Amino acid sequence: MRMSDWLEQEDLRLRQGESSVGGYPYGFMDDGAKKDIRRSILKAVAIPGYQVPYGSREMPIARGWGTGGIQITLSLITPDDILKVIDQGCDGSVNAVNIKKFIQTVADVEITNDTLTATVIQTRHRIPEEQMTAAQILVLQVPYPEALREVEASEAETRRMHAEADYSRMWLYLYEDIVNYGEITISYRYPVTVNGRYIMDPSPIPRWDVPKLHQAETLYLFGAGREKRIYAIPPHTTVEPLEFEDHTFRVEDFSGKSCARCGAADTFLDEVIENESGDRTHYCSDSGYCDKRFA
């Protein structure tokens, strides 16, 4: 169903005074709230990488546990959607399961673990291994939306820095890292320049996932519920990790390692240390993809 058709249908339903799911409006939030969030999303899409402030609503879970992502998902979802929720790549972790149950209750949608059949994927700290398409939306949960917070504590000052594209202090931070440690030591939340303009925090995804943001087919939406910001990377946007000519960006090195379960050697791996033996084994971080290969 097209979004516009769905909105018309919703509108009609509301005028008839129906409340669809469990005594709540469809999608838990009232219509005004969803409209407000959709407007913020549109603005975020129109200015890639710019943090749009929005009125973050109270959700039935604590702020800082994915409420930004949930609000985006709920404001976009329709009964035809198929939802996947992952937490650091895993479909079965407590946070992911609870969010899935909640959204299923209030939005009456089908749930899947398969990246390719999902229409909306909400994620914490990973981008799925399988290539996503233009028909899908990836919603990322963001704890700290401000990429410049490391170098500047004041919100007023970071806003000025963004407005004037005054990013020399961020670059200086990377310079000092290289001088002190021989390389850039940021392992996750690696800052990127979006569309040649804004420096953006890609949420705490590993470096491994950063190249997937560049010229992607899929719409990426970022929601920070506690910090009350929404930002976006629309499809086919240039996204470049900050790097120097003589110290280029590189992703995690898993050469010689592979998943102990499915054998994949081209995925982002989690290291697991066995309690008794102290042996180190590796498993795919993306559990849905690993299941698919293992089956």
Q: Which residues bind another protein (CB under 8 A)?
A: 160, 164-166, 168-169, 171-172, 175-176, 178-180, 243-247
- How far apart are the C-alpha atoms of 13 and 16, rounded to whole Å? 5
Q: Which of 68, 225, 259, 288 is catalytic?
A: 259
Q: Within 13 Å and on the Cβ side, how many CA atoms surround 51?
A: 27
Task: Name which of 266, 241, 270 is nearest 255 in CA terms.
Answer: 266
Q: Which of 90, 262, 278, 288 is catalytic?
A: 262
Beta carbon of residue 253, minimum distance to another protein (angstroms, whole number): 21
Q: How distant is the alpha carbon of residue 55 from its chain centre?
A: 19
User: Do residues 124 and 142 make contact, with C-beta atoms less than 8 angstroms apart?
Assistant: no
Beta carbon of residue 193, minimum distance to another protein (angstroms, whole number): 11
- How far apart are the C-alpha atoms of 177 and 200, rounded to whole Å? 19
Q: Which of 49, 68, 225, 288 is catalytic?
A: 49
The reply to whether 90 belongs to the active site is no
Beta carbon of residue 87, minimum distance to another protein (angstroms, whole number): 36
- How far apart are the C-alpha atoms of 266 and 122, rounded to whole Å? 23
164 or 253: CB nearest another protein? 164
144 or 175: CB nearest another protein? 175
Beta carbon of residue 205, minimum distance to another protein (angstroms, whole number): 24
Q: Which of 68, 90, 284, 288 is catalytic?
A: 284
176 or 266: CB nearest another protein? 176
149 or 292: CB nearest another protein? 149
- How far apart are the C-alpha atoms of 26 and 32, rounded to whole Å? 12
Instruction: Estimate the crossing angle of helix 67-76 against helix 31-46, to 10 degrees.
Output: 100
Task: Name which of 49, 46, 24, 48 is nearest 34 in CA terms.
Answer: 24
41 or 184: CB nearest another protein? 184
Instruction: Estimate the crossing angle of helix 94-107 against helix 67-76, to 10 degrees.
Output: 30
Residues with Cβ within 8 Å of 131's Cβ and at least 6 positions away in sequence, in order, are 217
The reply to whether 23 belongs to the active site is no
Beta carbon of residue 167, minimum distance to another protein (angstroms, whole number): 8
Residues with Cβ within 8 Å of 199's Cβ and at least 6 positions away in sequence, in order, are 49, 147, 148, 162, 167, 170, 191, 192, 193, 242
Dihedral pair phi/psi, residue 178, rounded to 5°: -65, -40
Beta carbon of residue 165, minimum distance to another protein (angstroms, whole number): 7
179 or 273: CB nearest another protein? 179
Q: Which of 69, 225, 288, 290 is catalytic?
A: 290
The reply to whether 262 belongs to the active site is yes
Tell me the catalytic residues: 49, 259, 262, 284, 290
